[in-house]
């Protein structure tokens, strides 16, 4: 396995924006052009009411000044956990740029109209799949999913597929965002944004 090619890049502290999602947008735009797979892939970590952690890779489906969006089955383990404890941690890792972004904050369900609007944009096969899969439940084999998919496909034949009531989006609203730029000899550059009411405090962290 090839090792990382450490870069000489450094954060331009004189030009860092006041709000972290502006810098996130710049970094993601670069990663979207250079990552071989999916620049929107992120590790989403949650903890249940008892403090037991869990983590999984999900796909970001949009971002803005207020945070990051993703969509899922609300009855999935992550949906149930977020209902009990909305705190989250997210990690993006872009090896082509030797960059990492960490976000922590609270998750909130998106308005139903926004989830439905996004669902309408999905390929029909993905829409049918959302209705077909009892996400994360134990199944005997894949033939069950194929059978359920065929049944759902027949039930919606000749009509639009509506957004399931158990499916929708979340807005991940960060209150801490850290940008990590890898450097040679462990001289990494780290910028931490911490929300203070309606403003952001910016600090430089030692590697």
Among 181, 203, 191, 184, residue whose Cα is nearest residue 10: 181
Helix (H) or strand (E) holding 118: helix 112-121
Among 117, 124, 55, 57, residue whose Cα is nearest residue 93: 57
- Cα of first residue to Cα of last residue in the chain, in angstroms, is 25
Active site residues: 186
Contacts of 95 (CB under 8 A, 6+ apart): 4, 35
For residue 154, the number of C-alpha atoms closer than 13 Å in the C-beta half-sphere is 6
Q: Classify residue 57 as left (phi > 0), alpha (psi -120 to 50) or beta.
A: beta
Q: Looking at residue 111, what DSSP letter applies?
A: P
């Amino acid at each position: 396995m090839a090792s990382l090619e450490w870069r000489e890049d450094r954060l331009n502290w004189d030009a860092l924006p006041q709000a972290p999602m502006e810098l996130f947008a710049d970094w993601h735009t670069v990663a979207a052009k250079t990552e071989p797979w999916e620049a929107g892939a992120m590790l989403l970590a949650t903890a249940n009411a008892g403090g037991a952690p869990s983590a999984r890779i999900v796909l970001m489906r949009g971002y803005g000044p207020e945070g990051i969006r993703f969509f899922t089955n609300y009855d999935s383990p992550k949906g149930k956990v977020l209902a009990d404890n909305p705190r989250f941690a997210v990690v993006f890792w872009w090896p082509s740029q030797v960059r990492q972004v960490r976000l922590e904050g609270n998750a909130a369900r998106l308005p139903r109209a926004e989830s439905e609007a996004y669902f309408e944009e999905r390929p029909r096969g993905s829409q049918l799949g959302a209705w077909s899969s009892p996400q994360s439940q134990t199944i005997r084999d894949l033939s069950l999913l194929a059978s359920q998919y065929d049944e759902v496909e027949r039930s919606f034949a000749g009509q639009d597929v509506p957004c399931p009531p158990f499916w929708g989006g979340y807005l991940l609203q960060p209150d801490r965002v850290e940008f990590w730029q890898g450097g040679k000899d462990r001289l990494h550059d780290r910028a931490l944004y911490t929300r203070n009411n309606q403003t952001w405090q910016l600090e430089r962290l030692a590697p």
